Every structure is written in structure tokens, then in C-alpha cells.
Amino acid sequence: MVLYSEEQIFNLEEISRKLRIRSLEMIYKRGAGHPGGSLSAADIIASLYFYKMKIDPGNPFMENRDRFILSKGHASAVLYAALAMKGYFPEDDLDNWGQLSCHLQGHPDRNKTPGVDMNTGTLGHGINIAAGMLLGGRLKKINFKVYVLLGDGECQGGIIWEGAMTAAKYKLGNLVAILDYNRVQLDGFVKDIMPLEPIVEKWKSFNFEVFQIDGHNIRQILEALDGADNIHGKPVMIIAKTVKGKGVSFMENNCYWHGTAPNKDQLETAKKELLERNKK
């Protein structure tokens, strides 16, 4: 069992806070984007990029790097903020998001933005692509992990489960899927649009090793990510209970904020809340 220092946890919490604030600033500036699902994923993204993944911003296509697929590609804001903070490209680029001349697209584009491993935006591709990468890695005898972040609404798509079967059949232990289980999608609550429960049993019955955590508790996220390293011969699903719009009270649990940009006042209120939050 790995022990995490208070300092380490605190630093990651601070990074998450910055990612949230930066995401909202970007969405405000562009007048477009997806705040709800960016905020719910911030702690997971921070833990992956600033703790777990073996990557080198100076060498984005390093062959044995860990890969990350933002299968819920609409949360691009928080990914872009993390990639910039890591140094894949200048932070200033974030302010030009969406401009014709800017490499940052509405949804991630690996041919334009350094650090992006796969184009996404239409939901449902992540697990299948991860399976292909890992089968390729196996043939090339290169060892790496592929992390995939999924939305819960996204899991309504049949292709998710096709990928799940492939990953299980080929015993892809290096596949770590994380479900951003925020219970809200575009049109409303998942339970009303198309219920997913029992979700734990679903993934278990598809032969995944399932962890259940609080997706806003950094310690639990790190434990799960490290714990996944000890699973061999089967893919891992980390079901992370999250809150859509986490950290901004008026955005939380509200599908209105799935794809609506805040105005100036709303941005300021949100930033204030995020800055005050958990300040000890």
C-alpha cells in the first residue's frame, strides 16, 4: 500500500482547483464549451497528468509513454488546461481556443494539439481504441498503460460494450477505464434519459476488475490508479462518483451547465467559490 503525503495530496488539489478555474475562463472567453463535465473530471485529470502517467511533454509521441483518451471529448477544456500546465504548448494558446488560427479545436485533435493521443468528440470510441493500442503494444513488446475517461451518458452507446468485450477477451490488464459518474447528461439525469444501473454489476459481468471511489477525493483516486497496477490479466474500471459542475454551486447537478458558457458575472462568482473552497 502506497502512502501519500499530505503535501502531495494538497498539491494535486491545488492543481485541480487551477484546472477548474482555467477551464471556466476558457469557456467564458470562447463563449462555448462544456463546463459541467470539465469540472467533474478535474480531479481525475489532475491525478493522471500530475501524478500517474509516464509521459514527456518534450516528446509527446514517445513510444512507451502512457496514453490517455478523453472518450468524453467534450470535456476538452480541462484536458487543454492540463496539457498547457504540463508544458505541451504555451498557456497563452488557451486564450485563443476556437479561433480559426488556433490549434485547439472544440474537441481534441491529435494532429493539431501536442499531447492529445486521439481525436474524440463523438462519444463511444475510447475503450475500443485503447484495446487496439494495447494489442499493438503487445505485438511490439512495449509496455504502457492506456487510461480512458468515459462519461456515464456515454455508456448508453452500444460500442462501449463492444470495446469492453474486446478488452476482456484479450485480457488487457493495462487498460484502465475511469467512469466520470456524475449522473447527468445533456438532456437531464441519466436515470431519466436511459438508466445505467446496476452499473457496477454491468462492468463486473463484462469481466472488468471494478473499483469504486469518490472521484473528488484525490487520495482515493491515487489509490485506485496505483491499485490498478496490481491487476493483471483483466481490464480495470474505476467507477468514480462525481458531481457534474463540481465546485460551483449553481452549476452542480444541472444539465443546463452541460454545454452553456458562463457570462462574466457567473464566471466571477464561480471563481470566487472555487478559490474559497477547501481553503484551510
- List of residues contacting ligand TPP (CB under 6 A): 34, 36-37, 40, 72, 74, 121-124, 151-154, 157, 180, 182, 184-186, 244, 258
Distance CA(237)–CA(177), nearest Å, equals: 5
Nearer to other proteins, 63 or 92 (CB): 92
Q: CB of residue 220 vs ligand TPP: minimum separation in angstroms?
A: 18
Query: Does 114 help bind other proteins (rule: CB under 8 A)?
Result: no
- Interface residue with other proteins, options 4, 11, 110, 121 (CB under 8 A): 121
The secondary structure of 180-224 as a DSSP string is: EE-SB-SSSBHHHHS---SHHHHHHHTT-EEEEEETT-HHHHHHH
With a CB cutoff of 8 Å and minimum separation 6, the contacts of 134 are: 146, 167, 170, 172, 174, 175
Contact 239, 179 (CB under 8 A): yes
Query: Does 158 help bind other proteins (rule: CB under 8 A)?
Result: yes
Contact 93, 86 (CB under 8 A): no
Q: CB of residue 41 vs ligand TPP: minimum separation in angstroms?
A: 7
Query: Does 252 help bind other proteins (rule: CB under 8 A)?
Result: no
Query: Does 132 help bind other proteins (rule: CB under 8 A)?
Result: no
* Window 173-232: residues binding other proteins (CB under 8 A): 185-187, 190, 193-194
Nearer to other proteins, 26 or 221 (CB): 26
Contact 147, 69 (CB under 8 A): yes
Of 280, 260, 278, whose CA–CA distance to 217 is shortest?
A: 278
Q: For residue 115, how many other CB atoms are within 10 A of its CB? A: 22
| Cell numbers standing for residue 94 | 488557451
Which residues on adjacent β-strands are paired with residue 252?
none
Residue 158 interface partner, choices other proteins, ligand TPP, none, CB cut-off 5-8 Å depending on type: other proteins
Q: CB of residue 139 vs other proteins: minimum separation in angstroms?
A: 28
Interacting residues with other proteins (CB under 8 A): 30-33, 73-74, 98-100, 102, 104-107, 109, 119-124, 153-154, 156-158, 185-187, 190, 193-194, 255, 259
